[in-house]
């Protein structure tokens, strides 16, 4: 895993080298092992490398045989051995055993069509010296990040936005439209980011940039089946086909020249991945878990049972409430976006534990909930659809209480009706499954300042999303629509970024996700809905597959979503300053009087709602983001801070 950066066109040589070194220094946590720069009259490319394959010889930028193409690459291609054999039969000559070089030769052979042959997680930048053309690409579901900004007639790109801000023509400015999107969807609508003028290469897309144009095109999208297009397959057949696919997805993700560990939370998904790893890996597996002193969030008992069952070499860490507040500023530095939950902070602690145990790669269970109906939001949508058939029923809404036992404010039928009846009967809406969540989240916008509200001028992010979807959801059933929204918005825009790549790479750790193998994704999205959820029992196929292979207490335990305590520790001087009148007024994003009331409510611990907690986290994280990136209250880089890079110069 690595960090990449570059710009096209270049400045004069000395200035270009300094800018590239500054960009790479900002993301050196992504690749502490090696670094390199390529500079031509047209382009500057740079890389910091976390060595996982061919540890000594994979330094980038890397060229093909005649130096006509150069690559910097962030990611892993899990089928690189098979691709290499095909390329060698076609006459390609390799000088390393890295997957990076496979990507380069594959592009040389097949051009943009090479992307459909890759099984992996990646952000790619290739410079064609003959065409004077830059190729950027990102993996199918956005596991690895890649950002860019158009500058004059060219562009600047990097794995993280903080690197872009080292370019002299790019400044950090928070976008009010992006804030409105985050305070609705928890993330921005791709390709937008929180910063004005900064875009992401969208998942499943590539960009070609030359002196004439910059064009972005799609090469893959999440499959959608109409109700009569699902696979005609029995449950037993589905189980065996999934088992074969998933087994291979795990097997190829164990390919590395360094030890591979795994997260083991005690839940179904991580237990399944651990089970399949054990079948492919003979030596004792190192596993890692996270616990909380607050028992509301702790899963240690299940983790201990899983460790006992699998007999792994286990490492765990316990998160205390103060830990989250103490590291929160650094978390936002790595996230580069406002967040509505504290969940990334403990994940950073967990990846730090992994790194301290000299593990660079961990396999995790992300994706199972999205693909096989594990989240409560899917069951909630089905219950609301059922309730909508008899809106006056006193009993149907009681099913919702089973999903959210931790929400104490939902005692009794009346609170359930008030909370869950929003647009209850609008079941024909393409966005029905998520309208309630987004309506609750959008209440955060009431804390925005008058100036920001005036800028927004009544802007409704949901309207933008509806335009983006168009008639894509026509004749698609409720569950599959909900899955599409969850995967394309929440998983890609929030989960894989804020709790995945950023928190792992902050500690130079690479996460690998066998459930997000594109073959597994495409298989699951074509399964009948009742193979995923049946009578509010989630992940039916997975549970059937693992009967007799996991302890019953893990196999049949109710789904427990990963949650962590909200930061309400005003004893932290930095946090207190971030929500002070002076800071709120200076930033100009929020209404101080309303923020003050919210802070007092949290401090009194009286009738605090989930929206209150999200609002506080959103306000605090936005304030910190502004402080770090807009006001630049982060240490400026000096010449002595810049990393040393191997420099390659071409005419």
pLDDT at position 562 is 77
CA dist., res. 250 & res. 324, Å (int): 32
pLDDT at position 541 is 98
The two beta strands, 313-319 and 286-292, are: parallel
- How far is Cα of residue 642 from the mean position of the Cα atoms in its chain? 28
pLDDT at position 570 is 57
CA dist., res. 44 & res. 19, Å (int): 9
What are 92-107's pLDDT values in tens digits?
Answer: 999 999 999 999 999 9
**Helix, strand or coil for residue 131?**
coil
pLDDT at position 604 is 85
Tokens 């909930």 appear where?
369
pLDDT at position 571 is 64
pLDDT at position 348 is 97
Q: Which residues are within 8 A (CB) of 286 and not within 5 positions of it... i.e. 6 or more apart?
A: 259, 261, 262, 312, 313, 314, 315, 357, 359
Residues of the chain with pLDDT under 70: 1, 406-415, 568-571
Contact 342, 323 (CB under 8 A): no
Q: Does domain 2-220 have CATH number 3.60.20.10?
A: yes
Q: Does domain 235-334+343-371+486-555 have CATH number 3.20.20.105?
A: no
What are 560-573's pLDDT values in tens digits?
Answer: 777 788 776 656 88
pLDDT at position 607 is 83
pLDDT at position 152 is 83
- Distance (Å) of CA 74 to CA 46, 100, 505: 11, 8, 11
pLDDT at position 72 is 98
CA dist., res. 267 & res. 272, Å (int): 9
- For the chain, residues classed under CATH 3.40.50.620 are 235-334+343-371+486-555
């Amino acid at each position: 895993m690595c960090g990449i950066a570059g710009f096209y066109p270049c400045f004069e040589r000395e200035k270009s080298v300094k800018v590239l070194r500054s960009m790479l220094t900002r993301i050196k946590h992504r690749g502490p092992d090696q670094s390199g720069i390529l500079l031509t009259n047209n382009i500057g490319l740079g890389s910091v490398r976390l060595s996982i394959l061919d540890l000594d010889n994979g330094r980038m930028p890397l060229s093909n045989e005649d130096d006509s193409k150069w690559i910097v690459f962030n990611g892993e291609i899990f089928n690189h051995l098979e691709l290499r054999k095909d390329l060698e039969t076609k006459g390609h000559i390799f000088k390393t055993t890295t997957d990076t070089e496979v990507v380069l030769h594959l592009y040389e052979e097949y051009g943009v069509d090479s992307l459909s042959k890759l099984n992996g997680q990646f952000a790619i930048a290739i410079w064609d010296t003959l065409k004077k053309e830059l190729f950027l690409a990102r993996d199918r579901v956005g596991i690895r990040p890649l950002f860019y900004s158009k500058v004059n007639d060219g562009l600047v790109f990097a794995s993280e936005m903080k690197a872009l801000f080292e370019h002299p023509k790019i400044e950090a400015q928070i976008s009010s439209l992006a804030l409105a999107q985050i305070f609705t969807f928890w993330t921005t609508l791709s390709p937008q980011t929180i910063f004005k003028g900064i875009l992401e290469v969208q998942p499943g897309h590539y960009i070609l940039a030359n002196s004439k144009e910059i064009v972005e095109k799609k090469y893959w999208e999440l499959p959608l089946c109409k109700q009569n297009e699902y696979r005609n397959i029995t449950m037993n057949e589905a189980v065996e086909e999934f088992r074969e696919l998933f087994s291979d997805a795990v097997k190829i993700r164990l390919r590395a020249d360094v030890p591979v560990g795994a997260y083991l939370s005690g839940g179904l998904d991580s237990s399944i991945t651990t089970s399949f790893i054990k079948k492919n890996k003979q030596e004792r597996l190192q596993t890692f878990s996270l616990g909380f002193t607050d028992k509301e969030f702790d899963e240690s008992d299940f983790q201990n049972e899983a460790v006992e069952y699998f007999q792994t070499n286990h490492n765990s860490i316990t998160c205390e409430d103060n830990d989250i507040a103490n590291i929160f500023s650094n978390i936002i530095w790595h996230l580069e976006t406002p967040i509505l939950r504290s969940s990334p902070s403990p994940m950073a602690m967990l990846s730090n534990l992994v790194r301290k145990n000299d593990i660079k790669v961990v396999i995790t269970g992300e994706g199972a909930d999205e693909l096989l109906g594990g989240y409560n939001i899917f069951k909630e949508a089905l219950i609301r659809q059922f309730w909508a058939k008899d809106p006056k029923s006193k009993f149907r809404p009681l099913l919702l209480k089973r999903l959210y036992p931790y929400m104490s404010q939902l005692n009794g039928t009346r609170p359930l009706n008030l909370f869950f009846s929003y647009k209850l009967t609008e079941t024909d809406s393409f966005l029905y499954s998520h309208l309630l969540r987004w309506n609750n989240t959008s209440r955060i916008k009431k804390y925005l300042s008058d100036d920001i509200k005036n800028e927004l001028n009544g802007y409704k992010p949901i309207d933008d999303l509806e335009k983006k979807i168009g008639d894509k959801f026509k004749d698609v059933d409720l569950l599959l629509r909900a899955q599409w929204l969850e995967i394309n918005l929440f998983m890609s825009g929030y989960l894989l970024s804020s709790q995945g790549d950023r928190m792992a790479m902050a500690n130079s750790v690479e996460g690998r996700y066998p459930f997000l193998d594109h073959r597994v994704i495409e298989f699951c999205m074509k399964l009948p809905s009742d193979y995923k959820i049946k009578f509010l029992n989630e992940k039916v196929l997975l549970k059937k597959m693992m009967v007799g292979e996991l302890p019953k207490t893990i196999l049949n335990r109710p789904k427990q979503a990963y949650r962590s305590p909200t930061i309400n520790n005003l004893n932290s001087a930095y946090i207190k300053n971030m929500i002070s009148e002076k800071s709120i007024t200076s930033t100009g994003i929020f209404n101080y009087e309303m923020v003050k009331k919210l802070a007092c409510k949290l401090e009194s611990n009286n009738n605090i709602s989930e929206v209150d907690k999200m609002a506080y986290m959103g306000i605090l994280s936005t304030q910190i983001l502004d402080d770090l990136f807009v006001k630049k209250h982060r240490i400026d880089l000096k010449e002595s801070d810049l990393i040393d890079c191997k420099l390659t110069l071409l005419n």
